[in-house]
Structure 1
Amino acid sequence: MSSYDKYATPLSSRYASDEMSSVFSLRNRFSTWRKLWYNLAIAEQQVGLKVITDEAIEQMKNHLEITDEEIDRATKEEAIVRHDVMAHVHVFGEVCPKAAGIIHLGATSCFVTDNADLIFLRDAYDILIPKLVNVIDRLSQFALEHKDLPVLGWTHFQPAQLTTVGKRACLWIQELLWDLRNMERARNDLGLRGVKGTTGTQASFLSLFHGDHDKVELLDETVVKLLGFEHVYPVTGQTYSRKIDIDVLSPLASFAATAHKFATDIRLLANLKEVEEPFEKSQIGSSAMAYKRNPMRCERVCSLARHLGSLMNDAVQTASVQWFERTLDDSAIRRISLPSAFLTADILLSTMNNITSGLVVYPKVIERRINSELPFMATENIIMAMVEKGGSRQDCHEEIRVLSHQASAVVKQQGGDNDLIERVKNTKYFEPIWNDLGKLLDPSTFVGRAPQQTEKFIKNDVAQALAPYGHVINRAPVHLSV
């Protein structure tokens, strides 16, 4: 049966990076099981279990990377014994005959499955975090470049006071910084289940070491150190608490909201023709409408962000129904939701790195939109300028109110341009400020402290957050294969 005749998830077959797909691959899973058995044997020998020989450990060391043929043999064995871990114990023992009798000694299946999952979650975060750092860095460069460029602000998607293109980007960056904080915390909080036995009591290991509690504790600590973790969960059932999965997926769900908001803003700006995502020279926007430049990357981000946000519920529901020391109704869903979450987050970050490496700004379009709205925004400045010239605020307010309504009618009812300033110039009452209108209408005077806020934010908050990651920042263009 051809691979083209079987469904393949587009997360791995179409979008996700090879490095993230590899973390959750079958080869990595089964090879990691072997590394766990290998390190368990080393630790058991170091703690004093004489049945573990150097020859056994050496054979295991030489077969840590599972081959295609061995995966196939284990798959056939699983079909017979109906147990994936025992199938792999059998095949590992075939290629390591000196170790066949001590592989998995004292352990339960969750020694390999759960500890492996925790390793995968850590390694997956180690892929995501540098990609998130680069999105933040690219957006920060964009923000600094455009920190002084006035742009019409929107509230309720209605014209509001001016801001700057750079300051708006800082709103996206700030949320991404919070996502970075959350991901770092989740990654660094991860421990290992360690060696806990069938129901978490370590009874089997206590038996192996003839009731020596200190040796059992030392075994637990040794395995964790050999596997490169800082700590082991002090108590478990048969599995590590599935609440850990909530802690792991929560930052990804939160990031999904950030990604969706960012991409939605770009999509709206693309419609306004103010800012666009990169558009490649040979890219086709529409099969029918050749002129179109659809924001397909941002649309992909929104689409996959919705999926990522929904996976959090899998972890919450699964954790809530784990009876006593464990049930097995967590297994199938976790095989789907955990890899899916990290693959999806990986795709989102790769896509966002592509978007932020080539955002296109159209200052003339931005200027034209500002000019269409600025006269109304300038009315308060006009009033204050008239008062400084000796006028009455109340009289000036009425004069400008009447002219504003007239100009608004031209825009809304006749489809014309905003001619409020021309009306002011043609109204004798406002003659004292005619020569000041240019200064009163300078867009840069309407942006408040946006440029200063942007510069301070990037140089302080962003720089501090990214300081540990200088070695992973790469500002080269990022291309997407599809």
Structure 2
Amino acid sequence: MSNREIYDNPLIGRYASRAMARTWSPQVKFSTWRKLWIALAEAEQALGLNITAPQIEAMKAAVDSIDFAAAEAYEKRFRHDVMAHIHAFGDAAPAARPIIHLGATSCYVTDNTDLILLRESLLRIRDRLASVIDALGTFADRWKSLPCLGYTHFQPAQLVTVGKRATLWCQELIFDLEDVEHRLEGLKFLGVKGTTGTQASFLALFDGDHAKVEELDRRVAASFGFDESYAVSGQTYSRKVDSQVMATLAGLGESAHRFGMDLRLLAHERELEEPFEAEQIGSSAMAYKRNPMRAERLCSLARFLMALPAAASQTSATQWLERTLDDSAVRRLTLPQGFLAADAILSLYANIVPGLVVHAAVIDRHLAEQLPFMATENLLMAGVQAGGDRQALHERIRQHSLAAAERLKEGAADNDLIARLRDDPAFPPLNFDDVLDASRYVGRSPEQVEEFLRTEVQPIRVRYPEAAEGAREELRV
């Protein structure tokens, strides 16, 4: 069949970056298996086993030249993927055939490879998070003083600023970055642990020399940049590690979904819009439409990502004693797709933020409609200070507010509440114009943005100086 006649995972074909897709590719996976076999042989040779330099050189010469057809043929015979690749590697490096995989069990290559790929993927997610945080920080700084309606229950509430709202999105990504950094800091190697985690096969190879077995484990881990291996394991590293990593990725999905949903709400209000390209079509039928396609896709991918931790936690909870293989198929799905989804989400996020369009005139119009209602508390206090009766003024404000609101519901173009109050003889003379200055109602929003950028965003920019240089990615479709 041609490629068009079989299912193509849209995470690969449409959404994730080429770099993340390559990380979880068969070429990288099986080349890493071979690198692990080489590292094991080199360490065993250094510690005295009868392994020759030509054998190691033969393995190194074949590390990337994988005959996938041969490996597939072997797997069809043996029904065992690791043994299939051992034989294929032996065919490519005949001199090394007798010592490939010496003392190891399958999880030596499968699990250590997964940990290497987890680390590489987490590093990429970390850097992309830092880039989006930087972009949101720039957006928040630009709009830190522009007043806009705040919403509680999606009903107009006290004012905030456009920049202050952006800090809420940014703060959640900072939480996610901290989680990713924590997972990276705690990630260790499986190392050489054997069939049930006791290292018995390696102890036999080294004639009972525990020190050499410990050194073997240390050397192999160091070959791949790991300072430590997990202190104990069964045949596999604890699947709790996968569960924790997937929970971290799902947290990123939560943050992205919140941003995407807020953007969709604000697009409905016509206050904020995602980028829209010159020839982009919003609807096949309604030519005028400008749908928030990117934000909708962001939410959709986030929903998928947030659903994955359940499989990882169930897998972690059902590992029988030292090993069961019912973790294999589900991990082949959840680990790569979790990172591909997270990568796709951050690609979208990074594409959206630099191109966000703020419609200040629409924001001002919404303020003009609602601000008179919000100003009434200040007017009430000013009226009492000028000698008015608090209870009487409260009642007049209530009556006029209801009348003004009803007028708006009937289609009036403006809110006449302030005019009503100005003309009401119950109110003493007041400066009604000053009370409609929106900047008086945003509290410390501009200062909070500045403090947030200084204390939260700037340290991330210092830690990841290349984040600000992250290019806005082109979305394929």
TM-score by length of 1: 0.97
Deviation, structure 1 residue 215: 0.5
| Structure 1 residue matching 2:160: 3-state secondary structure | strand
1:426 corresponding residue in structure 2: 423
What is the aligned counterpart of 1:474 among 465, 469, 472?
469
Deviation, structure 1 residue 390: 1.9
Question: Which runs of structure 1 show a deviation greater than 4 angstroms over 4 or more consecutive aligned residues?
Answer: 413-416
1:16 corresponding residue in structure 2: 16
Q: For 2:269 and 2:263, locate their aligned partners in 1 and report how far apart those are by CA, in whole Å.
A: 10
Question: CA separation of 1:308/1:4 partners in 2, compared to 1, >3 Å: closer, same or farther?
Answer: same
CA contact (8 A) 2:134 2:467 kept: no
What is the aligned counterpart of 2:220 among 223, 234, 238?
223
Deviation, structure 1 residue 412: 2.8
Deviation, structure 1 residue 448: 0.3
Question: CA separation of 1:163/1:260 partners in 2, compared to 1, >3 Å: closer, same or farther?
Answer: same
CA contact (8 A) 2:378 2:435 kept: yes
1:54 corresponding residue in structure 2: 53
1:407 corresponding residue in structure 2: 404
Q: For 1:201 and 1:139, locate their aligned partners in 2 and report how far apart those are by CA, in whole Å.
A: 49
Question: Is 2:79 the counterpart of 1:82?
Answer: yes
User: Percent identity among equivalent residues?
Assistant: 53
- One-letter code of the match for 2:160? T
CA contact (8 A) 1:138 1:475 kept: no
- One-letter code of the match for 1:75? E
2:391 corresponding residue in structure 1: 394
1:33 corresponding residue in structure 2: 33
Q: For 1:11 and 1:451, locate their aligned partners in 2 and report how far apart those are by CA, in whole Å.
A: 39
Q: For 2:307 and 2:178, locate their aligned partners in 1 and report how far apart those are by CA, in whole Å.
A: 21
| Structure 1 residue matching 2:156: 3-state secondary structure | strand
| Structure 2 residue matching 1:100: 3-state secondary structure | helix
2:456 corresponding residue in structure 1: 461
CA contact (8 A) 2:315 2:327 kept: yes
Q: For 2:70 and 2:342, locate their aligned partners in 1 and report how far apart those are by CA, in whole Å.
A: 33
Number of residues paired by the alignment? 477
- One-letter code of the match for 2:443? G
1:133 corresponding residue in structure 2: 130
2:43 corresponding residue in structure 1: 43
Q: For 1:249 and 1:382, locate their aligned partners in 2 and report how far apart those are by CA, in whole Å.
A: 52
| Structure 2 residue matching 1:151: 3-state secondary structure | strand
2:297 corresponding residue in structure 1: 300
- One-letter code of the match for 1:42? E
Question: Is 2:293 the counterpart of 1:285?
Answer: no
Question: Is 2:145 the counterpart of 1:181?
Answer: no
2:206 corresponding residue in structure 1: 209
Q: For 1:131 and 1:416, locate their aligned partners in 2 and report how far apart those are by CA, in whole Å.
A: 45
CA contact (8 A) 1:20 1:342 kept: yes
- One-letter code of the match for 2:14? R
CA contact (8 A) 1:111 1:194 kept: yes
1:115 corresponding residue in structure 2: 112
- One-letter code of the match for 1:4? R
Deviation, structure 1 residue 425: 2.4
Q: For 1:186 and 1:278, locate their aligned partners in 2 and report how far apart those are by CA, in whole Å.
A: 33
Which range is displaced more, 372-381 or 387-396?
387-396
TM-score by length of 2: 0.98
Q: For 2:402 and 2:25, locate their aligned partners in 1 and report how far apart those are by CA, in whole Å.
A: 66
Which range is displaced more, 402-411 or 255-264?
402-411
Deviation, structure 1 residue 14: 1.5
| Structure 1 residue matching 2:387: 3-state secondary structure | coil
Q: For 2:392 and 2:196, locate their aligned partners in 1 and report how far apart those are by CA, in whole Å.
A: 83
Q: For 1:286 and 1:388, locate their aligned partners in 2 and report how far apart those are by CA, in whole Å.
A: 56
Q: For 2:295 and 2:399, locate their aligned partners in 1 and report how far apart those are by CA, in whole Å.
A: 43
What is the aligned counterpart of 1:144 among 141, 146, 151?
141
Q: For 1:275 and 1:214, locate their aligned partners in 2 and report how far apart those are by CA, in whole Å.
A: 64
Question: CA separation of 1:475/1:207 partners in 2, compared to 1, >3 Å: closer, same or farther?
Answer: closer
2:444 corresponding residue in structure 1: 449
What is the aligned counterpart of 2:99 among 97, 102, 106?
102
CA contact (8 A) 1:357 1:478 kept: no
| Structure 1 residue matching 2:149: 3-state secondary structure | strand
CA contact (8 A) 1:130 1:473 kept: no
| Structure 2 residue matching 1:210: 3-state secondary structure | coil
Which range is displaced more, 469-478 or 227-236?
469-478
Which range is displaced more, 8-17 or 332-341?
8-17
Root mean square deviation of aligned Cα: 1.1
Question: Is 2:434 the counterpart of 1:439?
Answer: yes
What is the aligned counterpart of 1:380 among 377, 382, 385?
377
> What does 1:258-407 correspond to in 2, within 5 Å?
258-407=255-404
Which range is displaced more, 424-433 or 170-179?
424-433
Please, which runs of 5 or more residues in structure 1 have no aligned partner? none
- One-letter code of the match for 2:61? N
1:3 corresponding residue in structure 2: 3
Q: For 1:389 and 1:281, locate their aligned partners in 2 and report how far apart those are by CA, in whole Å.
A: 56
| Structure 1 residue matching 2:277: 3-state secondary structure | coil
